[in-house]
C-alpha cells in the first residue's frame, strides 16, 4: 500500500489540526501530512504548524481561491482535511477533488448546517449533540456522512459546556476517519460511501462518553 499524501486547511486555532498531528503515528507509513493552508494570517493554527514542522501557506485576502487552487495543484494531495476552514470552497475546486475532501462540523448533521449550532441546540432543547465528519460536496454541509459522535445534553448545559464536549467528540472521531481513509476502509464512489466495500445507507454513529473520552 502506497503512502497517501494529506493537506489540511484551517482558519482559526488549529486545535483539531494539533490533535491530528499528535496522532499521526497511528497512520505512519500510510498517510503523510505534507502541508497546510490558511486564509487567516492571524490564525493560531500557524503556530501549531510551526510546532510540528509542517509547511504552511498563508493566503492573501483578495486571492484566497486562486491561492488555494495553486496550493492544491502544487501538492496534488490524496486527502484534503478541512479543520475549521471557514471559507466556502468554489464548486470548481470541490469537483476537481470530489471524494478527497473531508470536513468536520459541530452538529449532528443534517441538523444545523452552517453557523450558530450551539445556540440552536440550546434553543430547541435537544437531547443529543455531537459532531459529524463528512465528505465535501458543492452543497454546504450536505455531503455524505462518514461518522458521527454523539453525547447526551444534560438539562441546563451551558454553551461553554456544549463547545467543550463537542470539541472532545471531534478529537475522538476525526482521527478515526483519517485512519479509515489511510487504510482504504472508506471509499467514496458515485456520491455514496462504502465501508470495507459495503454500502453505507445510514450514518455511523458512535455514542461518546465525553467525560473520559471513550465510546459507550
**41 pLDDT higher than 70:** yes
Would you call 99 helix, strand, or coil by DSSP?
coil
H or E stretch at 67 = helix 64-75
The grid cell for 60 is 492573501
Indicate the pTM of the whole model: 0.93
Cis geometry, peptide bond prior to residue 110 (ω within 30 degrees of 0): yes
134 is catalytic: no
pLDDT digits (tens, 9 = 90+) for 123-175: 999 999 999 999 999 988 899 999 999 999 998 899 999 999 999 999 999 99
Catalytic residue among 65, 105, 134, 167: 105
What domains lie within the chain, and their CATH numbers? 1-97 (3.40.50.170), 104-216 (3.40.50.170)
Amino acid at each position: 500500500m502506497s503512502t497517501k499524501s494529506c493537506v489540511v486547511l484551517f482558519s482559526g486555532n488549529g486545535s483539531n489540526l494539533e490533535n491530528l498531528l499528535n496522532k499521526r503515528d497511528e497512520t505512519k507509513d500510510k498517510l503523510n501530512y505534507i502541508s497546510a493552508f490558511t486564509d487567516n494570517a492571524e490564525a493560531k493554527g500557524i503556530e501549531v504548524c510551526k510546532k510540528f514542522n509542517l509547511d504552511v501557506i498563508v493566503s492573501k485576502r483578495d486571492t484566497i481561491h486562486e491561492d488555494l487552487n495553486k496550493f492544491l495543484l502544487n501538492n496534488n494531495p490524496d486527502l484534503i482535511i478541512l479543520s475549521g476552514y471557514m471559507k466556502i470552497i468554489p464548486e470548481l475546486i470541490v469537483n476537481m477533488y470530489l471524494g478527497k475532501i473531508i470536513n468536520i462540523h459541530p452538529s449532528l448533521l443534517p441538523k444545523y448546517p452552517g453557523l450558530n449550532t450551539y445556540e440552536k441546540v440550546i434553543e430547541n432543547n435537544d437531547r443529543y449533540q455531537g459532531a459529524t465528519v463528512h465528505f465535501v460536496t458543492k452543497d454546504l454541509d450536505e455531503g455524505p456522512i462518514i461518522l458521527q459522535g454523539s453525547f447526551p445534553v444534560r438539562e441546563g448545559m451551558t454553551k461553554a459546556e456544549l463547545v467543550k464536549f463537542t470539541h472532545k467528540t471531534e478529537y475522538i472521531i476525526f482521527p478515526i476517519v483519517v485512519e479509515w481513509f489511510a487504510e482504504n476502509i472508506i471509499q467514496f464512489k458515485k456520491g455514496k460511501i462504502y465501508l470495507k466495500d459495503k454500502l453505507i445507507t445510514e450514518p455511523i454513529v458512535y455514542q461518546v462518553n465525553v467525560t473520559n473520552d471513550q465510546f459507550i
